[in-house]
Structure 1
Amino acid sequence: MTSFGTDESIRRAVEAHSRMLLRIAMTRLPSPADAEDAVQEVFLKLLTARPQFRDEEHEKAWLIRATLHRACDMARSASRRDLPLEDAELLPGGELPEPSPILSAVQALPAKYSAVIHLYYYEGYSLKEISKLLQLPVPTVGTRLSRGRERLRQLLKEDVE
């Protein structure tokens, strides 16, 4: 078991996983700033909790699960307090680029489908690897991937029509 908390282990975890965790958070949070906040909170939780990991894969799985949970919590909280766009003041600094239609559709899926689709297509994990990361049976991961793809087809078909 390896302990987390030394300067070197913190730097290694941030360098190795921050980009991937940010992409994962952005599947649930449309704002890049919110996604960055979610990832920072996960790293803070890692630093303060100092969990024990069997190996690097165990650490990575913990980070992915924690990021998914934190992003879902933030999305749920934001949906309760969002203002209609016409009531919000525009901030200076320009507009954010529009996300691709496919990424928008992935973000619109329920979390259990978007997480699996993101890990499979965007991060390149196999079903077996996703199973380990999310602590789900391989058939469940396969079912979620299949159902998520079907929902994506429906969402994208609706956008075309």
Structure 2
Amino acid sequence: MSTPEPDQGFAEFFRTCLPVLTRTLTALTSDTRAVDDVAQDALVIAASRWHDIRSYDKPEAWVLKVAIRLMRRWQQRVSREAPLDLVDVVEQVHDVEAVHSALRSLSPRHREVVALHHLLGYSVSEIAAVLVVGESTVRTHLTRGRAELRRILGGSS
């Protein structure tokens, strides 16, 4: 990838760097659930520091380093979280209304994704098609929604 000249601006850098980041992160990890989100997050960080990093010899290398760190953090967080099985949660809580109440307390998007996946059995790709979002977005909302349900229902069991 050639480094754009500073006068080309961040938009051009973003356009050329995003595909390289996603390809690189995909090659580095077998867990592709968050690759797009991590790549974009790294570029958001780069945008906030563009006035400094645009003068680097290889600003894409700096962004790649940030992206790899973000991917590692995401993988560590996901590996610590046990999968959520709503059937097990209902059995533990012994109160279906508590589960429904917890679901209603989630943000609308988290609630939609968790309900479609766990209650209706939709796959990630089916949810992405229904909600017209990317699969990585669905996985992110599932992860965050599950974590929030665990937090809410932890006091109920």
**What TM-score, normalized by structure 2, do the two folds share?**
0.46
What is the TM-score with the length of structure 1 in the denominator?
A: 0.45
